[in-house]
């Protein structure tokens, strides 16, 4: 019986390894708008809304699973109340990430550390635009008053925490 239970755990409770899956943590961009959550990425069948509660400082944090046609498939919850948000599609422009605050944050030409890289020097604490994703890596566009950089951001330099700088 123990071996059957162990086999069940190993088979069914393992995270999926879909090669197209993003599996990156994200936050809701700094917006005062209620963001519609759709059942699919064609704006069909609204299944709810998400909105950062700035009065109670209860912010949405979640996981991005896929990007398609300007939409992101996400699932998450509010950080304080832990009210869950069902998995659905939101416009990609409303989803972002922060950078781990470091003197230099590397971004790569491809989603691996063996590719060429450049650095974001002394990044500001701004939400960073997400363009694409792949297995925990986020393809981002970073802009501040000093620089503009686009590339693949590795998971260890992503900060999906609206309360701290993750450093």
Each residue's pLDDT tens digit, 53-112: 988 999 999 999 999 999 999 999 999 999 999 899 999 999 999 999 889 999 999 999
For residue 20, the model assigns a pLDDT of 56
pLDDT at 12 over 50: no
| Beta-carbon-side half-sphere exposure of residue 29 (alpha carbons within 13 Å) | 16
Joined together, the tokens standing for residue 137 give 């890596």
| Mean pLDDT value of segment 102-123 | 95
Burial per residue of 75-96, b for 16 or more beta-carbon CB atoms within 10 angstroms, e otherwise: ebebbeeeeebeebbbebebbb
Count Cβ atoms below 10 Å from residue 31 Cβ, excluding itself. 14
- Taking residues 150-155, report their average pLDDT: 97
Per-residue confidence (pLDDT) for residue 44, from 0 to 100: 83
What average pLDDT does the structure give for the chain?
Answer: 86
Q: Domain locations in the chain?
A: 20-95, 97-159
Determine if residue 81 is left, alpha or beta; phi over 0 gives left, psi from -120 to 50 gives alpha, anything else beta. Answer: alpha
Domain 97-159, classified CATH 2.30.30, yes or no: yes
Name the DSSP letter for residue 15: P
Residue 26 has what pLDDT? Answer: 94
Q: Residue 21's pLDDT is what?
A: 80
Least-confidence region, from 2-11, 50-59, 135-144: 2-11
Give the separation between CA 61 and CA 13, rounded to whole angstroms.
Answer: 23
């Amino acid at each position: 019986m123990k071996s059957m239970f162990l086999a069940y755990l190993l088979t069914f409770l393992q995270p999926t390894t879909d090669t197209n899956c993003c599996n990156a943590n994200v936050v809701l961009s700094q917006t005062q708008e209620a963001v519609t959550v759709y059942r699919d990425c064609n704006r069909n069948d609204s299944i709810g809304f998400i909105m950062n509660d700035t009065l109670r400082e209860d912010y949405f944090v979640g996981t991005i699973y896929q990007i398609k046609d300007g939409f992101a498939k996400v699932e998450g919850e509010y950080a304080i109340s832990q009210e869950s948000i069902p998995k659905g599609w939101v416009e990609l422009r409303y989803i972002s990430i922060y950078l781990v605050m470091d003197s230099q944050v590397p971004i790569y030409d491809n989603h691996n550390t063996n590719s060429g890289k450049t650095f974001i020097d002394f990044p500001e604490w701004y939400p960073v635009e997400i363009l694409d994703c792949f297995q925990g890596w986020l393809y981002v566009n970073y802009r501040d008053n000093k620089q503009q950089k686009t590339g693949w951001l590795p998971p260890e330099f992503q900060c999906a925490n609206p309360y701290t700088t993750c450093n």
